[in-house]
């Protein structure tokens, strides 16, 4: 009789092990774009981009490059959001466009082309399309064409 009860005891133990409480549901992550710090980061990156653009315009490409380099962590932070804001995408796009121009100026056409291609992808897929997104897409496409003229 002991042998006929054993399978039932094992089955009951297995069923009880499967009846543990469910793990707590993951809390949905807060949207970082709604935080004030995100908006400040967008403003800071845009300001850095304008400053670097001014330096490049005045022939100070080394100083512009330093600003672009220092802005990369901020750029990465903005792009880490699941759905970056339009303002963030514009600031990032401007930064990548400027960085690409610096690379072109130093003869790094392949690396510059990759940055410009990011902007093409950004603005081709952005919804809704606007005259501004179309302008930015054309700017990126023109920059790619410029790189292609210099590449073998």
Task: Give the pLDDT confidence score for residue 152 in this predicted structure.
Answer: 83
**Looking at the predicted structure, is the pLDDT value of residue 13 above 80?**
no
Residue 133 in any domain: the answer is yes
Residue 30 in any domain: the answer is no
Instruction: Please name the residue ranges forming H helices in the chain.
Output: 2-18, 36-57, 61-79, 86-105, 109-125, 131-150
Q: How far apart are CA 89 and CA 147, in angstroms?
A: 23
pTM of the model: 0.79
Give per-residue pLDDT as tens, 42-65.
Answer: 999 999 999 999 999 999 999 999
Note down the domain range covering 41: 35-150
Q: How far apart are CA 119 and CA 95, in angstroms?
A: 10
Q: Which pLDDT band, with edges at 50, 70 and 90, does 15 fall under?
A: low
Residue 71 in any domain: the answer is yes
Q: Residue 111: is it exposed, middle or buried by C-beta count within 10 angstroms (0-12/13-18/19+)?
A: middle
Q: How many CB atoms lie within 10 A of CB 141?
A: 16
Q: Copy the structure tokens of residue 134.
A: 């179309």
Give per-residue pLDDT as tens, 81-106.
Answer: 999 999 999 999 999 999 999 999 99
Residue 43 in any domain: the answer is yes
Task: Give the pLDDT confidence score for residue 29 in this predicted structure.
Answer: 76
Q: How far apart are CA 143 and CA 100, in angstroms?
A: 8
The total of structural domains in the chain comes to 1
């Amino acid at each position: 009789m002991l042998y006929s009860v054993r399978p039932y005891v094992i089955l009951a133990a297995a069923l009880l092990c499967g009846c543990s409480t469910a793990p707590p549901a993951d809390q949905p992550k807060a949207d970082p774009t709604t935080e004030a710090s995100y908006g400040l980061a967008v403003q800071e990156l845009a300001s850095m981009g304008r400053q670097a653009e001014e330096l490049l315009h005045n022939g100070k490409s080394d100083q512009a490059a330093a600003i672009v380099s220092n802005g990369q962590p901020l750029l990465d932070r903005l792009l880490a959001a699941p759905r970056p804001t339009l303002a963030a995408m514009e600031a990032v796009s401007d930064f990548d466009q400027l960085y690409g121009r610096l690379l072109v100026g130093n003869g790094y056409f392949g690396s510059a082309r990759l940055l410009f291609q990011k902007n093409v992808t950004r603005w081709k897929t952005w919804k809704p399309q606007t005259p501004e997104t179309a302008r930015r897409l054309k700017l990126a496409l023109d920059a790619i064409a410029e790189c292609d003229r210099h590449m073998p």
